[in-house]
Structure 1
Amino acid sequence: MKLVAVDFTADNAEQAFVESLHQTGFGVLKNHPIKQEWVDSIYANWREFFASERKHEFTFDPKTQDGYFPPSVSEVAKGHKVKDIKEYFHYYPWGRCPQELRQQLADYYQAATDFAATLLGWVEKHSPDDVAARYSQPLSKMIENSEQTLLRVLHYPPLTGSEEAGAIRAAAHEDINLLTVLPAANEPGLQVLGKDGNWIDVPCDFGNLIINIGDMLQEASGGYFPSTTHRVINPEGQDQSRSRISLPLFLHPRPDVVLSERHTADSYLKERLRELGVI
């Protein structure tokens, strides 16, 4: 299996993108409207932020889950015992954020969320009738006025050799939300687990946009769209001295949205956060 970038401007972009999501849980887009220079500027500004001690002024609030998460409280992926090698910042429009960085993130958050709504429209339009009948409401409507959609600025620091045995930048996991929208990072390392059990490198050409299915869309679609396992592996050789910045937008429905007979968005999110040990 190989992931191929779909040209957003192509006549068959919708069908090719949704088919990739169905087959692999991932879709890769090129020639999309999210400007690369915008992403590049965010990467540069936040690399400076993570290198400063000021980040500790924004230490996260356990109740609201916004702010800076240091490596000492990094996530432990479900089924794993070792923390990921990363630090990150959770941005919500209502949450804390360095003032000089707020407007840039706010603009990106809005643009990426609007674009993601378009992609959800594609997914619904090209869902088989029996799958679409499961949706309690149009997928793009599920995120309207949601205060749960999260923009995470991720920093994977250079490796020093003193890392805990078995630790990698992001252990194998699945995302919780509907869709994750991710500009290609400044360094490679993202892999997806294929149906044959082999790990596949996700195309990381700077400028690509990577979208993957989360557990909530898998739940809402009765498994038609798979929430595929993925990870970020450690670099080797000279690449170990370079940090990696990543900017995933986790698209979440409003808490009251019904995903299935088993779950609302709120009940599912809380179940998964408890499994991750962050609540």
Structure 2
Amino acid sequence: MTSRTIPTIDFSQDKNVVAKKVLEACSTIGFFYMINHGLPQDQIDRAFALSKQYFDLPATEKRKHLIQEHNHGYSELYSETLDPEHQRQGDHKEGFNFRNFVHGKPFAPLPDLFAQNEEFLQSFSRACHATAMRVLEAFAIALEIPASEGGTEWFTHRHHYDEPSGQILRFLKYPHGGEAEYQDTVRAGAHSDYGSITLLFQKDVPGLEVQANREEWIAAPLIDGSILVNVGDQMQEWTGGLFKSTLHRVTFLPEHNHLDRYSMPFFVHPEDATPLVPIPSHLVPSSSIQKDEHGQVLTAGGHLQRRLQATYSYEKS
């Protein structure tokens, strides 16, 4: 069987050309590299530099802002288990989650380093959101949503930055080395993402793998100037399975013995109250509608809470 590859899509092309390529990528492997995305590289570099500064702080400082059920704050090594069915321990990474800066305010008090750079962090978070909206507009064009139903703005109208949602900018560090007995396994367990799409920024060290088919995982290498985009579970639900929310993981590589790996995912989520019903597109197959424990149509917020409860172990700070 020929391996699938992760395509690269140039977003400076005509929107209809982009949409056609997006449809092909999302209905097959569920991932693509986005180039000419419009997000300045100096902003990305500054965000990575802040991430490194933060993770270099003493553990006692970082633990002052431990993540809780609201999904904002610091997660320690091994505190997140993305594949609980198969993992022997939690993921070999630490992270910090930023909820949206709604109406210009952080979701909760920030560590001093981030508070000193709050204006930049908010600007970067909003720039990531704007970039994601370009992708979602391409989705709407690709799915030929009628103008009478919302057309090219069908998705963007359900993803306003200042409305309550599960959207997260996340800083991640995978420390070099690790316990030898675990180095033949993954650093972040096989999982799919929970929301609409994810934008992933990678730096210096690879390690991400994507499940191309049941028997094969393929590497997602670093491509300068690109953002790696993938479909999330809620988008798969919305499209009746047309768009694929594909399993992915982070594995140990030889260079991880002496180099830290940093990445920054931006997890894009619809507004919490958004019902996950099939979108109005003739390309979307009919499917059953998920219900919550009260028999109501499952919302974006409800779906996210289901997944988070199965992923994290929380500890009081």
**TM-score, scaled to structure 2:** 0.79
Distance 1:78 1:24 in 2: 24
Structure 2 residue 120 is the aligned partner of structure 1 residue 113? no
Match of 2:308? 273
Match of 1:256? 273
Distance 2:123 2:250 in 1: 27
Match of 1:43? 48
Runs of 5+ in structure 1 lacking a partner?
Answer: none
AA matched with 1:57: K
Aligned-pair CA distance for 1:192: 0.7
AA matched with 2:245: S
SS of the residue 1:256 aligns to = coil
Identity score, percent: 26
SS of the residue 2:243 aligns to = coil
Match of 1:247? 264
Runs of 5+ in structure 2 lacking a partner?
Answer: 102-106, 278-288, 291-297
Aligned-pair CA distance for 1:14: 2.7
Cα gap change, 1:163 to 1:65, in 2 (>3 Å): farther
Aligned-pair CA distance for 1:110: 0.1
Distance 1:193 1:48 in 2: 33
Structure 2 residue 138 is the aligned partner of structure 1 residue 122? yes
Runs of 4+ in 1 over 6 A off after TM superposition: none
Q: Give the stretch that moved more between structures: 221-230 or 9-18.
A: 9-18
AA matched with 1:7: D
Aligned-pair CA distance for 1:271: 1.6
Aligned-pair CA distance for 1:180: 0.3
Match of 2:93? 86
**TM-score, scaled to structure 1:** 0.90
Distance 1:20 1:203 in 2: 17
Would you say how many aligned residue pairs link Structure 1 and Structure 2? 274
Cα gap change, 1:85 to 1:8, in 2 (>3 Å): same
Match of 2:176? 158
Match of 1:5? 8
In the TM superposition, 1:41-190 aligns within 5 A as 41-53=46-58, 54-60=61-67, 62-81=68-87, 82-92=89-99, 93=101, 94-97=107-110, 98-127=114-143, 138-144=154-160, 145-147=162-164, 148-162=166-180, 164=182, 167-190=185-208
TM-superposition CA deviations, 1:80-137 (whole Å, max 9, x none):
332110000011222332312322221111011011112111101111569xx8x9x9
SS of the residue 1:84 aligns to = coil
Q: Does the 8 Å CA contact 2:189/2:249 hold for their aligned counterparts? A: yes
Q: Does the 8 Å CA contact 1:85/1:167 hold for their aligned counterparts? A: no
